[in-house]
Amino acid sequence: MNIPLFSKYSFTAFFTAAILILSPGLLRAQQVAEEFSISKIEPAIISSPVISYSGANQKPSRPKNWMEIEVTFSWLPRNPADKYSDDIVLDYYVLLANKSVTSPQGTLLAGQVTHTSVPAKQNDLKSVIYISPRTLERFFDGKPPASVSSAIIDIGVTISRQGQLVAQKSLKGSGAWWPQYQKTSGYLLNKNETPFAPLNTDYYEAVKRQ
């Protein structure tokens, strides 16, 4: 079917105008998103720290295994006035490899860490979250996994600033798969909620107190 020349030009003009109207917003969103990026998600099985102390009887205990999930991210703002930022929120989604009749897809643990005084122009910022030995025992029927590969299926992490999603990454690079799962909250712990709180203080970004 032949389309009148005027209609073709009208459609082209309309399409061009729409792009010009929308592009500033799209450009701003792209620029905000590009300021933040997640370069690494590194899960590891680590033992409870053994800390010697005096002034009280030291109780006998055997170190147990924790799951540590460390994230490396960057913030390279385009606005030179941005020096530090509060309320940088990292949401963690950890899909456990505990498939069963009651959890045929595994259990998705969800947790959040809010960082404060995050410095600008840094590409090696660190965040971390933990799964306790008791939680691993609970979700693996009393037999906590001894390796990362036997403990998790995948991990997803997002970064938000001022309520806006600015970056996301999956451990296995499969995109944002976590929205399709039912979330189980309350089992992922930030560093301050664990016996690792006094360790490596200057390595990780400060956690905002609730």
CATH number at residue 42: 2.60.40
55, part of any domain: no
Is 207 a domain residue?
no
Give a three-class secondary structure readout of 139-168. HCCCCCCCCHHHHEEEEEEEEEECCEEEEE
What is the secondary structure of 63-106 as a DSSP string? --EEEEEEEEEEE--SSTT--EES-EEEEEEEEES---SS-TT-
Token look-up 């729409």 returns 18
pTM above 0.85, yes or no: no
- Total structural domains within the chain: 1
Q: CA 75 from chain center: how many Å?
A: 14
- Assign 10 to helix, strand or coil: helix
Could you tell me if residue 119 is left (phi over 0), alpha (psi between -120 and 50 degrees) or otherwise beta?
A: beta
pLDDT of residue 4: 55
Please give the residue range of the domain that contains residue 131.
Answer: 37-48+64-193
Q: What tens digit of pLDDT does each residue of 112-167 get?
A: 999 999 999 999 999 999 999 999 999 999 999 999 999 999 999 999 999 999 99
Q: Does 157 fall in a domain? A: yes
